[in-house]
Structure 1
Amino acid sequence: MKKLIALLMSVMIVLGSLAGCGSKKEETTKAQETTKAQETTKAQETTAAKEETTAAEASDLAYVKERGKLVVGITDFEPMDYKDESGEWIGFDADMARGFAESLGVEVEFIEITWDNKALELSGRIIDCVWNGMTLTDEVKSAMECSNAYCNNAQVVIVKADVADQYQDVESLSDLAFAVEAGSAGEEEVKALGLNYTPVSTQADALMEVAAGSSDAAVIDSLMAAAMVGEGTGYDELTYTVGLNSELYGVGFRKGSDLAAALNDYFKEAYGDGTMEKCAETYGIQAALIEQ
């Protein structure tokens, strides 16, 4: 009898043990299935995030919209970009940039840049575009994705008014010491002519050099000259004489950026409904949309 009882207890222990193993195996399987499901979900989320990042990286338009802000690189350049009495950036370019940002459903932020570093500022994503009366030179077009031209311009020579009659052609400029903005179309012109010059940070600095007598002459944009030089301006003792070229203004984006095409569409709309012309009249310039 004792042997029978002992045998039955042994069988029960074995069966209990087998049942326990089965339960543990089921629990392990369920845990493994849960872990796999979690890993699959995480992998899907990671893939989706990567796809969003890749899309933003591939598309500047998507990047700007996702961030909710268009960062515009400028310099103090009246009548295109300059500050009013309250310190707000205004001007033809500033106002048009605001309108473009609004059309994208984002805010606009203006950052003053060193003009000679504009391409680096773009590639480093410090700014999204250069919108500052920028001449569409071959160098600019090779380094940036540029919009269609929206304004005609020229580089002109600035001298003191009391000696202006001595400098009415290119040949008369050879003995002058010039101040020009580094990296500008003006610098390209004086270089091409082999003239003696000192690079300065901005076109406004070039004007100050001439007014102070530190330089004999400057080369700046004709639009800026019309706004800042001559009777009724802060530089009434200066005037402009020789025109060195004719050129076009455009906006620069990162190479391959889809924002350039978006801006061209905005320009067409603004030009067609009169918005661009009205803005140009406000700042005394002539807008001329030129598709390339």
Structure 2
Amino acid sequence: MNKKIGFILALVVISLMMCSTVSAGLFDFMGGSDSSNDDNTFVVGFDAEFPPYGYKDDSGNYTGFDLDLAKEVCERNNWTFKAQPIDWDAKDVELDSGSIDCIWNGFTMDGREDNYTWSNPYFDNKQIIVVKSNSGINTPADLKGKIVETQKDSSALAALQGDNKTLADTFGTLTEVADYNTAFMDLESGACDAIAMDIGVAEYDIKNKNATSDYQILKESITSEKYGIGFKQGNTDLKDKVQSTLDDMFKDGTVAKIAQKYGISEDALIQP
């Protein structure tokens, strides 16, 4: 009788152990377990179609000025870097849910000051005018009667329809185009006289065309906005760690070196 009871108890124990193992395996498969790297993974949310800040290169890899900065921050903190492309319209949902740790992608602070826990501004995103070098256009006043193009829904368009509407009213026409590639083709062909755009995008596009002598960026900007890293409200611990590392990268010249890689001038960088 005792042997039978012992045998039955042994079967029960084995069955419980098997159930536990299967349950754990199922839990892991469904993503329920935490990996040892979870706490050290820094997930950056970004728009994958916004060069030079974040985009997919010809090899299909995600790259960009902001992503390179974030990757260097991770290397210095022994974190695992993860670039997470997101639907830009759903960025707040992604951040609030914890699926990303921050938004780092040419992210404008102006008008959003109270919506996020922000890093210090690190980039002065001026809205500028690009013309052909031989155009004879040297100041915004020279745009009177000229055809100026800008990308739809852009910061440059918002500036020219808002605080700088007086300037825009002097243009012959202000035309919205789908993208800046189209605008540059129109500038090259003579279909337009100037492009209003972000300085970082302008410098990157001109560098990639290997035609720096063919284009001129007017010294006088239309307006300016500051870029920062947006964290979930209250996440000051992570923000402080990233900020401290980024400050060190400014001091040792790493930020300037990465900017140079993408054709971005040091004048656009905001030193801590």
Q: Structure 1 length as normaliser, TM-score?
A: 0.58
The whole-number CA distance in structure 2 between the counterparts of 1:71 and 1:177 is 35
The answer as to 2:76 corresponding to 1:107 is: no
**Following TM superposition, by how much is the alpha carbon of 1:262 offset from its aligned partner in structure 2, in angstroms?**
2.2
Q: Which residue number corresponds to residue 30 of structure 1?
A: none
Give 2:201's aligned residue: 224
Indicate the larger mover: 227-236 or 86-95: 227-236
Shift of the alpha carbon at 1:148?
Answer: 1.0
Taking the TM superposition and a 5 Å limit, the aligned residue runs for 1:197-208 are 198=176, 200=178, 205-208=179-182
Shift of 1:231: 9.1
Structure 2 Cα separation of the partners of residues 270 and 162 of structure 1: 35
CA apart distance, 1:111: 0.5
Deviation at 1:212, TM superposition (A): 4.7
Question: Are 1:244 and 2:214 matched, yes or no?
Answer: no
The answer to whether the Cα contact below 8 Å between 1:65 and 1:104 also exists between their aligned partners in 2 is no
Superposition deviation, residue 98 in structure 1: 1.3
Shift of 1:126: 5.4
Deviation of 1:217 after TM superposition, in Å, equals: 5.0
Higher percent of residues as helix: 1
**1:69–1:136 distance in 2 versus 1, CA, 3 Å:** closer
The equivalent of 1:271 in structure 2 is 250
Per-residue deviation, 1:70: 0.8
Counterpart of 1:142 (choices 96, 99, 114) is 114
Residue 267 of structure 1 aligns to a residue whose secondary structure is: helix
Q: Which residue of 2 aligns with 1:82?
A: 55
Instruction: Report deviation, 1:113.
Output: 4.0
Q: Of residues 240, 253, 256 in structure 1, which corresponds to 2:234?
A: 256
8 Å Cα contact 1:227/1:233 also seen in 2: no
Gaps of 5+ in 1: 1-63
Deviations along 1:206-232, one digit per CA (max 9) or x if unpaired, are 342452588775432212212213794
Deviations 1:132-182 (A, max 9, x none): 233432x132332221122333111245x3884357315735774643352
CA contact (8 A) 1:190 1:197 kept: no
User: Cα 1:85–1:171, aligned 2, differ >3 Å: closer, same or farther?
Assistant: closer
Residue number among 148, 156, 165 corresponding to 2:136 in the alignment: 165
Are the aligned partners of 2:124 and 2:270 in contact in 1 as well (CA < 8 Å)? no
Q: Specify the SS of the correspondent of 1:143.
A: coil
Summarize the Cα distance change of 1:127–1:231 in structure 2 as closer, same or farther, 3 Å threshold: closer
Distance 1:230 1:278 in 2: 15
In 2, distance between residues paired with 1:273 and 1:235? Answer: 28
- Which shows bigger deviation, 269-278 or 236-245? 236-245
What residue ranges of structure 2 are gaps of 5+ in the alignment? Answer: 1-36, 169-173
What per-residue deviation string (whole Å, max 9, x for no partner) do you get for residues 90-124 of structure 1? Answer: 2321111112234262331230544x665555446
In structure 2, C-alpha distance between the alignment counterparts of 1:165 and 1:118, rounded to whole Å: 43
Residue 278 of structure 1 aligns to a residue in which SS?
helix
Distance 1:143 1:188, change over 3 A: farther
Q: SS at 2:45's partner residue?
A: strand
What amino acid does structure 2 have at the position aligned with 1:150? Y
Distance 2:113 2:269 in 1: 19
> Whole-Å Cα distance in 1 between the matches of residues 117 and 141 of structure 2?
33
In the other structure, the counterpart of 1:8 is none
